[in-house]
């Protein structure tokens, strides 16, 4: 389905990013796996390579524009082009609104908002030269005001991603570039486990109690796996989504319905 396509996935070292990178490789794409942790990026690239396609492992700090530029340049140099950009790298922490500091805000927005914009901009420059491409941004239902977000700065950063997706789709559409976002709900990853552990500690509960409470808010009754998010990313990268742009899709089991 994605044969002869080159994809770049940021934050590919673990969790959702790793699942997306592997799913893209399973569906025929050559995949550049980027992460601030080079060893983690390499491990994901090795798993992608098992599907018989070219891979690359590229360390990058997605909050630094020079590092973003170098990441895109290395992808094109090693794999020849860039057809699919998945802006997945992001950070968060569990902190209440009145305890948020300036550093918390700056750290989160540096990667989640600034980083996504400059990854999108630099990828779009390559795609314009090539005649088109697909950009997939990782937002969150937190950006739609969902209850239970890790913190207000994170929610604001993901709201920015949703807004950016719509504006970029309008301006890049004439260049045959589709721009869409995915808004995951509760997704079981190592990051999720760390957040649940912190919430449990803060409330004097067990991790199991906090996890069960979170899942009771999901109408379908189960949290996402990383592969649930990857399936949406593969669809948005596929020919079947060629006329879809400017959209932000919830993958959350029904928590948010708008």
119 domain-assigned: yes
The dihedral region occupied by 176, where left means phi > 0, alpha psi between -120 and 50, and beta the remainder, is: left
126, containing H or E segment:
helix 116-130
Own/partner contacts of 93-99, CB < 8 Å, gap of 24 or more, are 93/150, 93/151, 93/154, 94/150, 94/151, 94/195, 94/198, 94/199, 94/202, 95/150, 95/151, 96/151, 97/151, 97/152
Helix axes 116-130, 65-79, angle to 10 degrees: 30
258 domain-assigned: no
199 domain-assigned: no
Looking at residue 169, its pLDDT comes to 99
Structural domain boundaries enclosing 23: 6-187+225-250
Range 67-100 burial, b when 16+ CB lie within 10 A, else e:
bbbbbbebbbeebeebbbbbbbbbbbbbbeeeeb
40 domain-assigned: yes
143 domain-assigned: yes
Looking at residue 123, its pLDDT comes to 98
Active site (catalytic) residues: 154
What is the Cα gyration radius of the chain? 17
143, containing H or E segment:
none
69 domain-assigned: yes
Q: Which residue has 């140099």 as its token pair? A: 77
Looking at residue 249, its pLDDT comes to 98
Instruction: Specify burial of residue 205 (Cβ count, 10 A radius: 0-12, 13-18, 19+).
Output: middle
Looking at residue 170, its pLDDT comes to 98
Looking at residue 11, its pLDDT comes to 98
Looking at residue 192, its pLDDT comes to 66
Total domains present in the chain: 1
Tokens of 238: 């596929």
Low-confidence residues of the chain: pLDDT under 70: 192-193, 196, 207
Contacts with 37 (C-beta within 8 Å, 6 or more apart), sequence order: 13, 59
**198 neighbors 154 (Cβ within 8 angstroms):** no
Reported as a single tens digit per residue, the pLDDT across 178-187 is 999 999 999 9
150 domain-assigned: yes
Distance CA 27, CA 1 (A): 6
Distance CA 103, CA 94 (A): 14
Looking at residue 107, its pLDDT comes to 98
Q: What is the pTM of this model?
A: 0.93
- Residue 132 sits in a domain whose CATH number is 3.40.50.720
198 domain-assigned: no
């Amino acid at each position: 389905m994605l044969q002869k396509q080159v994809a770049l996935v940021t934050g590919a070292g673990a969790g959702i990013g790793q699942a997306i990178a592997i799913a893209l490789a399973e569906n025929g794409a050559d995949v550049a796996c980027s992460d601030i942790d080079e060893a983690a990026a390499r491990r994901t690239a090795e798993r992608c390579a098992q599907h018989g396609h070219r891979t690359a492992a590229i360390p990058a700090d997605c909050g630094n524009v020079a590092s973003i530029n170098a990441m895109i340049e290395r992808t094109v140099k090693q794999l020849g082009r860039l057809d699919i950009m998945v802006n997945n790298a992001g950070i968060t922490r569990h902190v209440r609104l009145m305890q948020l500091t300036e550093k918390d805000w700056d750290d989160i927005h540096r990667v989640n908002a600034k980083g996504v914009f400059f990854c999108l901009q630099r990828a779009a420059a390559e795609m314009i030269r090539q005649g088109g491409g697909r950009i997939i941004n990782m937002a969150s239902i937190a950006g739609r005001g969902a209850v239970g977000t890790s913190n207000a700065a994170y929610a604001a950063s993901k709201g920015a991603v949703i807004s950016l997706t719509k504006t970029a789709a309008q301006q890049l559409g004439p260049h045959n570039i589709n721009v869409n976002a995915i808004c995951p709900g509760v997704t079981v990853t190592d990051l999720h486990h760390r957040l649940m552990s912190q919430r449990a500690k803060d409330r004097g509960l067990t991790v199991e109690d906090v996890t069960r409470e979170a899942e009771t808010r999901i109408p379908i009754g189960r949290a996402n796996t990383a592969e649930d998010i990857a399936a949406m990313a593969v669809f948005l990268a596929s020919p079947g989504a060629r006329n879809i742009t400017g959209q932000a899709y919830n993958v959350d089991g029904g928590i948010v319905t708008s």
